[in-house]
Amino acid sequence: MTQAAQTEAVKERKRTISAIDLFCGVGGLTHGLEKAGIDVRLGIDINPACEYPYTANNKAEFLLKSVEDLQADELSEAFSEDSVRLLAGCAPCQTFSTYNQKADSSDKRWWLLRHFARLAKELLPEFITMENVPRLEKMSVFDEFVTSLKKLGYEVDHRIVNNANYGVPQHRHRLVLLASKLGPIRLLTFEEFGEEPIDVQKAIGNLSPIGAGQVHDDDPLHQSAALSDTNLRRIKASKPGGTWRDWDEELRAECHKKRTGKTYPSVYGRMSWDEPAPTMTTQFFGFGNGRFGHPEQNRAISLREGAILQSFHEGYEFVKPGEPIHKKVIGELIGNAVPVKLGEVIGKSLVEHLPLVPHA
């Protein structure tokens, strides 16, 4: 079908968008798209731990399957017949992250983007969106992805944005791509989206205090990691926004006393109440893993606080009631998620693009 014919076909459809979310994780992107009015029909991920949080908090169904094994036919059935189709996803970003200095093209995850491109070519949905770490923009596999979309007749826009500008309470720079077969498209600016920056105080300042290693009675996810006696002394000596350089010499780690360790001032740090949080990594629940100390309480932030700083609402479920919570597992799920608010920005950009498609 030519682009002109596809545009004509869209005119005959209801002006709604149905979507499939590849690499869906716990549903951050899906949840944001739903908030923007998009009908997400199916989420796909290879991690079984994603199924409960995805289905418990979203309307879409969940498919446990590798994108490498997906066929276009099984996805076509998931789309609503009378809607504009969106193929969305965020290929696992660890391969492209600046934290992963050893990753190269031999990493199998590197080529998941090619499977995304394959499915786009086979399905030819009207819209495509992808979110990933900024470093991907400089990779040849991304150039290949964009070129393949343009050859298929898509108008493509990609840019790096700071999530904090869109109301996500953390500094998180991400690459966002939007593609449309219906005409030029772009991500809404933060002024157009209309959200004010949110600091840590506004995001998590209302949560009940807990101690290091404690679990809140009413919310099992509001739990923090235990601290050793040394780390308890360290966090007591830490100032919001400060570094380990503020400590007495006896508290400093041996690695930080070496020349090579002096370039990592942000580990063992407290957040500041009046600023957005730093980027939530998969290890945000550990005091020594970054500036993840609570601004006031002597502990690292809790799993719930990390989720809120990813713009998940306070009641978002990550584990079935009564089941044990494994910090490493849940921390990875939260840290790897697309912030809900960014998903909403992407969704609203697509929804507002539809009226720009000319009518007969």
- Max Cα-Cα span within the chain: 75
Output the DSSP codes for 259-300: GGGGG-TTTT-B--TTSPBPP--TTTT-GGGSS-B-SSSSSB
Give dist(CA 309, CA 198) in Å, integer: 9
CA distance 123 to 87: 9
Residue in this structure with the two tokens 């500041």, named with its chain if needed: 272
C-alpha to C-alpha distance for 109 and 114, rounded to whole angstroms: 10
- Beginning with the edge strand found earlier in the chain, give each strand of the sheet holding 155-162 in spatial order: 61-64, 39-45, 17-22, 84-89, 127-132, 173-180, 155-162
Task: Compute CA 259 distance to the chain's CA centroid, rounded to the nearest angstrom.
Answer: 34
24 is catalytic: no
Answer for the pair 346, 185: CB distance below 8 angstroms, yes or no. no
CA-CA distance, 304 to 294, in Å (whole number)? 12
Q: Residues 24, 50, 93, 255: which is the catalytic one?
A: 93
Instruction: Catalogue the active-site residues.
Output: 93
